[in-house]
Amino acid sequence: MKNIKIPFILATTFLFLNVFNVNAQQTEIPKEKRLAWFKDAKLGIFIHWGIYAVNGIDESWSFYNNYISYNDYMKQLNGFTAKKYNPTSWAKLIKESGAKYTVITTKHHDGVALWNSKFGTLNTVKKTPAKKDLISPFVKAVKKEGLKLGLYYSLLDWSHPDYPFFTRKEKRYKEDTKRWKKFTKYNFGQLKELTKYNPDLYWFDGDWEQSAEKWKAKEIRALLLDKTPNTIINSRLQGYGDYATPEQGLPIRKPSSKFWELCMTMNNSWGYQPTDKNYKTVNQIIRILVDCISMGGDLLLDIAPKADGTIPKEQVAILKGLGRWTNKHKEAIYGTRAGIPKQHFNGYTSLSKDKTILYLYVDNKPNGPLLIKGLKNKVNRIWVVGNGTKLSHKVVGKQYWSHVPGMLYIDLPEKVQDKDVTVIAVLLQGKVDLYQEEIKAIESN
Ligand code: JFZ
């Protein structure tokens, strides 16, 4: 009797769990809902913090590409002190920049975990003089500031003894089901630990080395959305993510994905590299942000703290400079949607969510009035965002016998211009309505 009962109980439990699992997948909260905050956010701050900051060398890639031996790379563990780490001031600075979310590296390709992982021993608690879980206090500070939390996690781990790839020249093995299984267990174990932080976003990286099947990408997605149902996942999960992540290259055309984010460095490095002084200026970064906004995307801008936990002064200055502009122009940033085609306005534009306000971003000094072509709406009011000055406008060249709208000229006096990008709000009568037909020689006569 006993012998029959136990397998029966096991079988029913298994069945129940299975059904439950299937259900969990079917009831995934729709993307539109989960990604609503992300669509509105526009600016996030990426943080690449790891032992690579000790020597100031390429994050993980420096040993993978054999610029330094693995042993020497790992010696950096001994210099990673986090002595002046102040997650509260990090979170406050991120908030001051105008960012609505932040993504921190919990583990880069070098396999060094920044939290107290029970899986493996390669983490900042056990292997560095910092002797601390660096993620927990950051999570707390970020949530306190009301920012959304993103956790970066490298799927590939070039340090793990059971991971097949090690450096560009050396592989550990080609096929070994047993070792791969061990590695998979490790990855799932760490990911499960990360779900405890209840992140709003998982930012995967390193997926290119294995297939979706190998990573068990589908199962990873199911696990994360089961434990943290409202979360969102970037695209680097071999087809199982939610949104596109172009890297470094500012899109030329509006990306086809409805949800996207450009990740970009402030200089040329993701991690702290004191010799890299090739910083973009605040003005350039504001214009890059505006470019993303005009195409309906977000900018995820990277900072790279030093090994002691301080943020380099150049980066602090950029965040504060950004903060000046984002604070002044809030209404024309958060919650906006992609703008109108360049044929209508020779510059960046965006629209309010309800499409009744057209925002113009003027990133140069105009020689005369601004021009909007082919706008069918009546204009109710025009003002300078963050300043309030009402601007006068004139519709010129409208013919009573033609449907082609006149040219709308807006005067923009020098004294109301912003030193970086001036933003103008054009309040329309109704939703934006554009004339986009081919112009005929004579429409009606
Ligand atoms: C990846 C990481 O490798 C990089 O270290 C950083 O974290 C960035 C945000 O994401 O970027 C890549 C990935 C792959 C290549 C280059 C950059 N590649 O294959 O050349």
CA dist 32 and 35 (Å) reads 5
Tell me how far the alpha carbon of residue 338 lies from the centroid of ligand 1, in angstroms. 27
In whole angstroms, give the CA distance from residue 416 to residue 392: 13
Measuring from atom 3 of ligand 1, which residue has the nearest CA?
206
pLDDT at 4 over 60: no
Q: Is 278 helix (H, G, I), strand (E, B) or coil?
A: coil
- What is the average per-residue pLDDT within 249-264? 95
Task: Report helix angle 282-294 to 313-328, nearest 10.
Answer: 50
pLDDT digit string, tens, across residues 291-314: 999 999 999 999 999 999 999 999
Burial profile 11-21: b = 16 or more Cβ within 10 angstroms, e = fewer: eeeeeeeeeee
Give the model's confidence band at 443: pLDDT under 50 very low, under 70 low, under 90 confident, else very high: low
pLDDT tens digit sequence for 170-213: 999 999 999 999 999 999 999 999 999 999 999 999 999 999 99
Length of the chain: 445
- C-alpha 302 to ligand 1 mean position (Å): 13
Q: What is the pLDDT of residue 293?
A: 98
Residue-level pLDDT at 12: 44
Q: What are phi and psi of 125, to 5 degrees?
A: -75, -45
Question: What is the best residue among 236, 270, 273, 303 to mutate for testing ligand 1's pocket, by most ligand atoms within 8 Å of CB?
Answer: 270
Expressed in angstroms and rounded, the spacing between residue 415 Cα and the centre of ligand 1 is 44
Q: What is the value of pTM for the model shown?
A: 0.93
Closest Cα to atom 15 of ligand 1: 206
Residues 6+ positions from 401 with CB-CB distance below 8 Å: 443, 444, 445
Instruction: Give the pLDDT band of residue 2 (cuts 50, 70, 90).
Output: very low
Percent helix, percent strand, percent coil in the chain, to nearest 5: 35, 20, 45
Nearest 5°: the CA angle 126, 128, 131 is 60
Query: 265 CA distance to ligand 1 centroid (A)?
Result: 11
Nearest residue (by CA) to ligand 1, atom 8, is: 270
pLDDT on residue 439: 75
Ligand 1 center to residue 61 CA distance, Å? Answer: 9
pLDDT given at position 270? 98
Q: Which residues line ligand 1 (CB under 6 A)?
A: 59, 205, 247, 263, 270
Q: Single out the residue of 410, 298, 321, 288 nearest to residue 360, CA to CA.
A: 410
Q: Whose structure tokens read 């001036």?
A: 422
